[in-house]
Amino acid sequence: MPALFTILGSGSSGNCAYLETDDTRLLIDAGLSARQIRQRLLGIGRTPENLSGILITHEHTDHIQGLAVLAARLHLPVFCNRLTKEAIELQFPEARFDFRLFTTGTSFDLGDLSVDTFSVPHDAYDPVGFLVRTAAGNVGVLTDLGHATRLVIERVRASHVLVLESNHDVRMLQDDTKRPWATKQRILSRHGHLSNEAAAQVAGEILSAELQHLFLGHLSSDCNTPALARRVVAEHLAQRGGTHVAVQAASPNVPLPTLILGATRAAATAAPME
Ligand SMILES: [Zn+2]
Ligand SMILES: [Zn+2]
């Protein structure tokens, strides 16, 4: 059966995606307000009450700001590693969560899904990326990283769908007058965020015949534009023979249309028989 994947929102201000299979309904990060997450789920005919759980990449506000209201009130399982759990508890001392801990680098089953976890270089306690394996295809989530290690690239290479950070245009960031020098240094560092050019290089290295959809996420609203990020990455992929990959930039303000995984592959398999 197909799986459904919707980026409910992604940007420096907030990140949240929804993945649904026959048995399992997951959020990946809860970095919008609980109210926004509820509204955007309702927009695709879903409710938070029916979630199976929430996967958390790391404890930065733009990944967990809706977590306390959503997960604690609805008693939803929260899947994260121990250091991230401790950081979440510090941020929401009043909330009671149902944590399900994983060890970074391991895989675990969740309903009819399996989730691979891997470490990413970013300035949080123990930040991770995910490769979520479904019967309809694999979804990789790779946001919030200063640079891509060999390990990271190997771990998401099996993605059919990949959410990849494309945070900033380096020149727009350097010219930005709002951010102090130290903040710019943090963003540009090896534990900060990927620029459009860096995202293009990473996408080129991950490129495979199986990769069908590339969602650019975590765009800075001041130091990037969706059109620029998309152009830089799509042009690089085209140079490397990746014209089969559909590249889209996500927005923090509006969900992207739901992607039906498995449907296109089934259609492609069926086509020659007609
Ligand atoms: Zn972060
Ligand atoms: Zn972030």
Q: Which helix (H) or strand (E) holds 18?
A: strand 14-20
| Structure tokens, 34 | 């609980």
Ligand approaching nearest to the C-alpha of 58: 1
- Quote the ligand 2 centre to 55 CA distance (angstroms): 14
pLDDT (tens digit, 9 = 90+) per residue, 91-101? 999 999 999 99
pTM of the full structure = 0.94
Phi, psi (deg, nearest 5) at residue 49: -60, -30
Nearest ligand (C-alpha, residue 13): 2
Q: Which ligand has the shortest distance to the CA of 146?
A: 1
The ligand minimizing its distance to the Cα of 14 is 2
Report whether pLDDT(271) > 50: no
- Ligand with the closest atom to the CA of 127: 1
Q: Supply the mean pLDDT for the chain.
A: 94
3-56 pLDDT, tens digit per residue, is 999 999 999 999 999 999 999 999 999 999 999 999 999 999 999 999 999 999
CA of 60 to the centre of ligand 1 (A): 5
Instruction: Say which residue, 175 or 263, is predicted with more confidence.
Output: 175
Phi, psi of 132 (to 5 degrees): -100, 120
Q: Which residues pair with 131 in a beta bridge?
A: 116, 140
| Strand order through the sheet with 53-55 | 98-101, 77-80, 53-55, 25-28, 14-20, 3-11, 259-261
Whole-number Å distance between alpha carbons of 114 and 24? 11
The CA 270 to ligand 1 mean position distance, Å, reads 42
On the question of pLDDT at 186 being above 80, the answer is yes
CA angle 45, 23, 159 (to 5 degrees): 90
Least confident of 10-24, 236-250, 259-273: 259-273
State the distance from the centre of ligand 1 to the C-alpha of 106, rounded, in angstroms.
21
* 141 Cα–ligand 1 center, Å: 13
Q: Are 107 and 158 in contact, with CB atoms under 8 Å apart?
A: no
Ligand nearest to the CA of 62: 2
Gap from CA of 108 to ligand 1 centroid (Å): 23
Would you place residue 264 in the very low, low, confident or very high pLDDT band (cuts 50, 70, 90)?
low
Query: Rounded to the nearest whole angstrom, what is the distance from the C-alpha of residue 12 to the centroid of ligand 2?
Result: 6
- Give burial (CB, 10 Å; 0-12/13-18/19+) of 241: exposed
